[in-house]
Amino acid sequence: MPQRGAVGAEERIRAAAVRLWSERGFHGVGIRELAEEAGLSSASLYHYMGTKEDLLADVMSRGLRRLVLAAERVTQQRAGAGPRMNALVQLHVLTHALRPRETRVVDGELRALSGDRRGGVMSLRDEYERYWRTTIDEGRASGAFRVEAPGMARLALLEMCTGVARWYDPGGPMALSEVALGHAQLASRVLGAEELELVDEVDWCRGLVGEIWSGPGGG
């Protein structure tokens, strides 16, 4: 079991990495800057987290496992393709609005990984997207969705919802509930389910995001 000091140092390193990488990108931050941000020496950073790429793979894997866990909760608690997709969209929007630093790193730094690290992160990303794919497929099979290009629709919706991490401003003119429900409405149109009654899942999704992302490693 890691000693208390080691756990604290690892948390500081991950948090520092998320802060810096979300602002300047993986390649825009050197080891020395990362160590200084974490309040450690470069040698200590290597001791706790290995190489810089090891650290990136760890940060991205943690974020993706949280997304997978959240999608699993939605699948368990929302029956039917329509209600489930509505919740998945609002959850993705809420996650990217409330945890923009982590999600910008998770979504934007895959190209910096290589070999097994890249493969492991891609497997987690595919696992998360599988919840979206199976929900869309179920909706098409039941007639709830009438989209003719489900793969393209899925990618377009994920990209649209992911973009919230880049532009949403908590102090801006749009309330988060408006952003989440607006994206859910757009998703229903893309999937050919305009008649689907949208349910406000913002409070439930906010609570789920808070629960799942409250652990170590946040920014």
Q: Would you give per-residue pLDDT tens digits along the chain (219 residues)?
A: 344 445 588 889 999 999 999 999 999 999 899 999 999 888 888 888 888 999 999 999 999 999 999 999 999 999 999 999 999 999 999 999 999 999 999 999 999 999 999 999 999 999 999 999 999 999 999 999 999 999 999 999 999 999 999 999 999 999 999 999 999 999 999 999 977 788 999 999 999 999 999 865 444
Q: Which of 98, 108, 123 is nearest to 23 (CA)?
A: 108
- Provide the CA 125 distance to its chain's centre, in angstroms: 9
How distant, in Å, are the alpha carbons of 6, 40, 62, 79, 152 from that of 215? 16, 21, 10, 28, 34
Q: Does an H or E element contain 23, and which?
A: helix 4-24
Q: What is the pTM of this model?
A: 0.91
